[in-house]
Amino acid sequence: MELAVLFFNSFIIGFSGALMPGPLLAVGIAETPRHGWQTGPVISVGHAIAEIAIVVLLALGVATLTNNPVITRVIGIVGGAALLLMGVTMAYDVIRRRVSYDANHSSDRSRHKLAGKGITATLSNPYWFIWWATIGLALLVKAKHFGIIGPVTFYFGHILSDFIWYTIVSILIWKGRKLMMGTGLRVLILSCAVFLLYLGGSFIYDGLTGAL
């Protein structure tokens, strides 16, 4: 019963975080017209890979690294630069009309790239590192009271929320794509690109000023 409570709590906490706009959501919204409703699950796979990596690292006791202000500044600057690059590339593709909206042409290779974008969007967000080094670490410490099954239960409850939310978002966008086809979709994707540029600039600013 206590493990069920742990799973439920991690799911709710993860869901509340997934609902907040960020790089991963922007990528999901922008890529759905090209890759279809499966965009949400695929970018969530990339996100899950990054999350399990940091869970393992925290379990090995490297959380103190992210408490170092120099390291957090570097994470902010590098992550911001990655977001700027993603935003510029996304905007360039839209402006040059290099965006294809036919999901039937989506190959396994493109899905691999999509999962890679999920990893990049996750790792480029310095606040994701900070969340895991603070809130996530505290939750993991409590989960470890259940032995190895505790962190495993916490992880799957946490990541399930991301899969559900980003899948819902992709399904809604994919179902409504015909209403927005053409200029509407390009404006939507361009808006996501601008949002990534804004996030990238703010992350770099926070890194330079030590606001992280």
> What contacts 129, CB < 8 A, 6 or more positions away?
54, 66, 72, 75
Helices 39-59, 23-35: inter-axial angle, 10-degree rounding: 150
State the pTM of this model. 0.71
Distance CA 87, CA 73 (A): 21
Range of the domain at 70: 2-209
> What contacts 34, CB < 8 A, 6 or more positions away?
99, 100, 101, 102, 103, 106, 110
pLDDT tens across the length of the chain (212 residues): 588 888 988 888 887 677 766 889 888 888 888 888 899 999 999 999 999 988 888 767 655 655 677 877 887 888 788 888 878 887 887 787 765 555 444 555 567 888 998 999 998 888 788 778 777 877 787 787 788 888 889 899 999 989 998 998 899 888 876 665 566 667 777 887 888 888 889 888 988 888 76
* N-term to C-term CA, the chain: 38
pLDDT at residue 167 in the model: 92
The total number of structural domains in the chain stands at 1
- Tens-place pLDDT, residues 16-56: 677 766 889 888 888 888 888 899 999 999 999 999 988 88
- Mean pLDDT, the chain, whole residue set: 80
- Tens-place pLDDT, residues 92-105: 877 877 655 554 44
